[in-house]
Amino acid sequence: MRKCRCLVFICLCFVMCCALSACGGQEASQPEAGRIDTFIIGTTAEISSAKRSVYNFDVLTGTLSQLAPVWVDADGVYHPLLCTYSTEDSRTWILTVREGMTWHDGQPVSAADIQFTLEYLDSQNGGGYADSYEDIRLVDERTIALELAEPNPRHLASLTTLRILPKHIYQDVTDDSALPSDEANIGCGPYRFVRFDADAGVLAFDAYDAYPDGQPMVEHVLFRLFDNEDTMYMALKSGEIDMVYRYSSGVSTAVLEDLQRTEQISLLPIRNTANSAVLIFNNQVSPFDNEKIRQALACAIDYARFRELFGSPYALASEAGFIPPGTYGYVQTQTLERDLQLAAAYLQEAGCTDSDDDGYLEYQGQPLCVEVMVRDDKPVHARYAELLMNNLAEVGIAVQIDVQEVAAFRELTEQQHAHAAVITGLTAFGMAKNQGLAALYLWGENSMSYGQVYDEDYKALLDQADAAANMEEYALVAAEIQQYYADTLPAIALFWDSHIQAFNSRYSGFVEDGTFGLLNVQTWFSLQAE
Amino acid sequence: MKKKLLISFFCLLFILVFNFALPRLLPGDTVLMLVGMDEDVVSENEYAYYVEKTGADRPLAEQFASYLRGILQGDLGYSYHHNAPVEQLIAQRVPATLQIALPAVLLSALLALVLGCYAGMRKGSGMERMISTLQITVDAIPGFLLGLLLLSLFAFHLGWFPSGALNSIVVPAATLPAWGDRIWHLCLPVLTLVLGSVPAKYLLVCNTVAQQMQEKYVLYARSRGLSDSYIVWHHILPNICQPFIAMVGMNMGFIFSGSLVIETIFSIRGLGSLLDQAIRSRDYPLLQGCLLVSAVVVVVANLLTDVLCVALDPKVRCRIHEAE
């Protein structure tokens, strides 16, 4: 009996040893003569399958294997990527596919692929691509002319995320899930898609030998998919992954301090043209239809405390012009600062009094109580509202926080405009939409207008932005629009913050892209390992 | 036994009715709830399509009959977020969950039984106090924290185990090393679930064994010169197996739901993470499917434990025999 037990124990030990030795660890990144063999990126992006219709997968492939016609740098300047471009009147845009660009199956990329992509995306998404042009003409094998109905100097902005599809693969495909993933993911970037392993939580890409700009610095790029941020940051600290990435976002401020203390991790702030903490007034309803009240609120907010409590060490003081630095056409306006005396003076000018001496003001015979709506899926927005409540109580304004479920929030704000004020975050994409400069969120006739601004002066400025013949003209109007915001304060940025990117300190040479941040085609050609 | 079967049947029926009623009772548009879409992203044409697809314009009884027919045919609905049938999504994820849940149930039961018997025989001794204190301490640690602690220690500091997923980036080609790789990856998530579910079972076994040790049959057995371990395994265990097996059955449900947290921490794409996605994206058809599967697992596990109790416990067999 005793011998039998010993035998079982020895067998168990042997099996465990076999198991452990068989999987003695993952392949480490081994730099070779300045080049990098494997670069592993951790992400919490949810990817269920390797299909282009899966948003997060499509975004990640846009940094490696699928190319858009152009890319935009951190200063808002556009550069050729898949195509070179030219225009004489900002109305007709000529795109020419760069010499030597081929699909990963060897077929050359042609202008017909661009035309096909626009038409295909229209059929899949119900419009907004080919139908946004008045005319699309194939000039030659590699050149296409896209003609807009009106001149638009900012048109290239919409081409930075238009990832071109291979016509010869997709022309008879209505549902991309029917395509095998190796075919569906044929791209034309410096990397080709290799595999998606759901059990290992890995997306793998290998360098594409025939890319016309030569071999990228990294041979294999792997994405490790994490469901949990804490695990991902632990993996970064232990060196298991080389970098963390999330599209249009940065490292969570909660872990910044810890990462800063870790020697082998580098943090790099990159420009953020999103406005991630804003207070937007409904400029059509009382009391926010009164400019003096808006001015008073702007003076009562403790911006330094907002940065201290919620911002990263790289957070910036916001300005009255509302548009963050890094946005094309940004001009510096007055920095927002707390001044309680000035706030009290504005409130007095607006006709606010404290007739019952309870410490809270009345406006037009009613208690001055401001209702601020926030979404329930963004708990930090409720925290902003709580600090705002404390700040405004000091000047005698009561704040009521209204937490709404996302669908109800959208219905009440975007459809019914039944809000008095909202605290929310505005995406970089949304900030740049329509005429740019947050017009989508502020001009009253737009679908997502939280600001409900119907001022004719503002409308005239937006029309001028639409009519700008080139980027220089647009920049002049942009400056005027920011001055308009600074003068009338239809919305207030509570603070501005950078997207902090974290990566292993042994890497350098990252290039900043205005769309994708540090992960982009340029980075793969300049990345260096120590 | 018939009574147990009837209870299980009514439980299942109640779950089905509840599952059917849930999206229809929620405030808001029933059609949008049934497809898990927000009003602002659905056009009029799409809405009309969804009405026809879900049959929400038909009488409630007709809808319920169609729902039951679908369930019996294995049709759990359609996830418009994933663009795939719910049963297909669940079937893809269940194996991963079972790979964690089943070993965790078995190992935790075994560990609780061994530790519980050992400590129960020595109730009041220093060793029993130490084991009990340790179990109560572990029980007080939330599952996600326990998972993160184990991960931090064994994966990131010691490097003994991988930090997540079900296999390595490059899986060994040969079968045996591939199996080893999978077992290596399962160690930490299973350990987390085991540690979290042992204490309750351990305390039950420990206390019931200590109680049984005072019974006369144990005294007689001792007087016959039988060893304590023989008495525990051959005489006490059959007497305490009924509540223990019932508890293991109940534990199946806990481990299924508990694996939600564990799967998230260890980045394992199982039923738990699917449920998590469904909750976050308000994908009600998928949510209903996941809840139905979890509920059915609990009911079936309880029924199986009842059957097992009958098979193992002579007293229960005798009672059934007498009743017949």
Alpha carbons B282 and A448: distance in angstroms, whole number: 22
Residues in chain A with CB shorter than 8 Å from the CB of B88 are none
Q: Is the ipTM of this complex over 0.85?
A: no
Structural domain span for residue B26: 2-75
Same domain, B318 and B221: yes
Strand partners of residue A267: A502
Residues in chain B with CB shorter than 8 Å from the CB of A203 are none
pLDDT band with cut points at 50, 70 and 90 for residue A266: very high
- What single-letter amino acid sits at A207? A
pLDDT band with cut points at 50, 70 and 90 for residue A25: very low
Give the per-residue pLDDT at A17.
43
Give the per-residue pLDDT at A169.
94
pLDDT tens, position by position, A86-143: 998 889 999 999 999 999 999 999 999 999 999 998 888 666 789 889 999 999 999 9
Q: Determine whether the interchain pair B159/A202 forms a contact, defined as Cβ–Cβ distance below 8 Å.
A: no
Buried b (16+ CB within 10 A) or exposed e, B21-59: eebeeeeebbbbbbbbbeeeebeeeebeebbeebebeee
Judged by average pLDDT, the poorest of A275-279, A340-344, B250-254 is B250-254
pLDDT tens, position by position, B99-114: 998 899 899 999 999 9
Q: How many domains does chain B have?
A: 2
Give the per-residue pLDDT at B37.
63
Q: Indicate where chain A has its CATH 3.90.76.10 domain(s).
A: 70-170
For position B286, which CATH number holds?
A: 1.10.3720.10
Q: Which of residues 193-252 of B touch A (CB under 8 A)?
A: none
Alpha carbons B143 and A305: distance in angstroms, whole number: 35
pLDDT tens, position by position, B36-63: 666 555 666 777 777 777 777 778 788 8
Asked which of B39, B55, B75 is the last residue of a domain, the reply is B75
Same domain, B25 and B168: no
Give the per-residue pLDDT at A5.
57
Give the per-residue pLDDT at A351.
92
Q: Determine whether the interchain pair A23/B39 forms a contact, defined as Cβ–Cβ distance below 8 Å.
A: no
Same domain, B137 and B47: no
Alpha carbons B251 and B245: distance in angstroms, whole number: 10
User: Average pLDDT for residues B268-272, to the nearest whole number?
Assistant: 87
Residue B272, domain member (yes or no): yes
Chain B: residue whose CA lies nearest to A17: B180
Residue B82, domain member (yes or no): no
Q: Do the Cβ atoms of A192 and A206 come closer than 8 Å?
A: yes
Distance from the B240 Cα atom to the nearest Cα atom in chain A, whole angstroms: 26
Burial (CB count within 10 angstroms: exposed 0-12, middle 13-18, buried 19+), residue A236: buried
Same domain, B115 and B240: yes
Q: Indicate where chain A has its CATH 3.10.105.10 domain(s).
A: 275-495
Chain A: residue whose CA lies nearest to B169: A200
Q: Which residues contact A8 (CB under 8 A, 6 or more apart)?
A: none
**pLDDT surpassing 90 at residue A12:** no
Q: Who wins on pLDDT, A24 or A497?
A: A497
Give the per-residue pLDDT at B299.
85
**pTM for the full predicted model:** 0.78
Same domain, B60 and B146: no
**pLDDT surpassing 70 at residue A268:** yes
Residues in chain A with CB shorter than 8 Å from the CB of B177 are 18, 22-23
Asked which of B75, B108, B125 is the last residue of a domain, the reply is B75
What whole-number percentage of chain A has pLDDT above 90? 60
Chain A: residue whose CA lies nearest to B276: A227
Residue B226, domain member (yes or no): yes
Q: Which of residues 97-126 of B touch A (CB under 8 A)?
A: none
Chain center to CA of B103: 11
B170 touches chain A (CB under 8 A): yes
Distance from the B210 Cα atom to the nearest Cα atom in chain A, whole angstroms: 27
Judged by average pLDDT, the poorest of A445-459, B177-191, B301-315 is B301-315
**pLDDT surpassing 70 at residue A233:** yes
Same domain, B128 and B45: no
Alpha carbons A106 and A104: distance in angstroms, whole number: 5
User: Average pLDDT for residues A62-73, to the nearest whole number?
Assistant: 94
Structure tokens, A117: 């992509």
CATH, domain range A70-170: 3.90.76.10
**pLDDT surpassing 80 at residue A380:** yes
Q: Which of A150-159, A500-509, B89-98, B283-292 has the highest mean pLDDT?
A: A500-509
Burial (CB count within 10 angstroms: exposed 0-12, middle 13-18, buried 19+), residue A219: middle
Same domain, B106 and B71: no
Q: Which of residues 185-204 of B touch A (CB under 8 A)?
A: 185
pLDDT tens, position by position, A392-412: 999 999 999 999 877 778 878
Q: Where are the alpha helices (DSSP H) in chain B?
A: 2-25, 30-35, 44-54, 60-72, 86-121, 126-140, 143-150, 175-212, 216-223, 228-231, 237-265, 271-280, 284-312, 314-323
Structure tokens, A334: 């007055």
Q: Determine whether the interchain pair A240/B163 forms a contact, defined as Cβ–Cβ distance below 8 Å.
A: yes
pLDDT band with cut points at 50, 70 and 90 for residue A270: confident
Same domain, B145 and B229: yes
Buried b (16+ CB within 10 A) or exposed e, A51-74: bbebebbebbbbbbbbbbbbbbee
Shortest CA distance to A65 belongs to which of A81, A43, A49?
A81
B39 touches chain A (CB under 8 A): yes
B142 touches chain A (CB under 8 A): no
pLDDT band with cut points at 50, 70 and 90 for residue A29: very low
Q: Determine whether the interchain pair A20/B265 forms a contact, defined as Cβ–Cβ distance below 8 Å.
A: no
Q: Who wins on pLDDT, A5 or A446?
A: A446
Nearest CB among A20, A26, A46 relative to B169 is that of A26
Q: CA angle, A521 as apex, A516 and A522 as ends, to 5°?
A: 100
A25: phi > 0 → left, psi -120 to 50 → alpha, else beta; which? left
Q: Element (H or E) spanning A83, and its range?
A: strand A83-87
Q: Determine whether the interchain pair B163/A231 forms a contact, defined as Cβ–Cβ distance below 8 Å.
A: yes
Structure tokens, B66: 């169609």
Asked which of B75, B107, B133 is the last residue of a domain, the reply is B75
Give the per-residue pLDDT at A20.
42
Rg, chain A, Cα only = 27
Alpha carbons B179 and A76: distance in angstroms, whole number: 51
Same domain, B58 and B101: no
Query: Quick check: helix, strand or coil at residue A505?
Result: coil
Residues in chain A with CB shorter than 8 Å from the CB of B286 are none
Q: Do the Cβ atoms of A251 and A228 come closer than 8 Å?
A: no
Interface test with A, best of B31, B33, B38, B40 (most A CBs within 10 A): B40
Residue B308, domain member (yes or no): yes
Q: Determine whether the interchain pair A26/B163 forms a contact, defined as Cβ–Cβ distance below 8 Å.
A: no
Length of chain B: 324
Kindly indicate whether the domain formed by A275-495 is annotated with CATH number 3.10.105.10: yes
pLDDT tens, position by position, B144-187: 899 999 999 999 889 899 988 888 888 888 889 999 999 999 99
Q: Do the Cβ atoms of A234 and B163 come closer than 8 Å?
A: yes
A200 touches chain B (CB under 8 A): yes
A222 touches chain B (CB under 8 A): yes
Q: A2-17+36-65+189-268: which CATH architecture?
A: 3-Layer(aba) Sandwich (3.40)
Give the per-residue pLDDT at B39.
57
Residues in chain B with CB shorter than 8 Å from the CB of A177 are 83
Residue B81, domain member (yes or no): no
Give the per-residue pLDDT at A136.
96
A376 touches chain B (CB under 8 A): no
User: Average pLDDT for residues A175-179, to the nearest whole number?
Assistant: 76
Q: Indicate where chain A has its CATH 3.40.190.10 domain(s).
A: 2-17+36-65+189-268
Same domain, B251 and B169: yes
Same domain, B20 and B160: no
Same domain, B58 and B112: no
Give the per-residue pLDDT at A394.
94
Structure tokens, A254: 């909660």
**pLDDT surpassing 90 at residue B233:** no
Distance from the B32 Cα atom to the nearest Cα atom in chain A, whole angstroms: 11
Alpha carbons B300 and A484: distance in angstroms, whole number: 67
**pLDDT surpassing 60 at residue B311:** yes
Interface test with A, best of B150, B169, B183, B227 (most A CBs within 10 A): B169
Alpha carbons B163 and A371: distance in angstroms, whole number: 46
Q: Do the Cβ atoms of A375 and A280 come closer than 8 Å?
A: no
Shortest CA distance to A312 belongs to which of A239, A380, A231?
A380
Residues in chain A with CB shorter than 8 Å from the CB of B176 are 18, 22
A231 touches chain B (CB under 8 A): yes
Q: Do the Cβ atoms of B30 and B23 come closer than 8 Å?
A: yes
A201 touches chain B (CB under 8 A): yes
Rg, chain B, Cα only = 24
Q: Determine whether the interchain pair B179/A25 forms a contact, defined as Cβ–Cβ distance below 8 Å.
A: no
A20 touches chain B (CB under 8 A): yes
Residue B274, domain member (yes or no): yes
Q: Determine whether the interchain pair A200/B167 forms a contact, defined as Cβ–Cβ distance below 8 Å.
A: yes
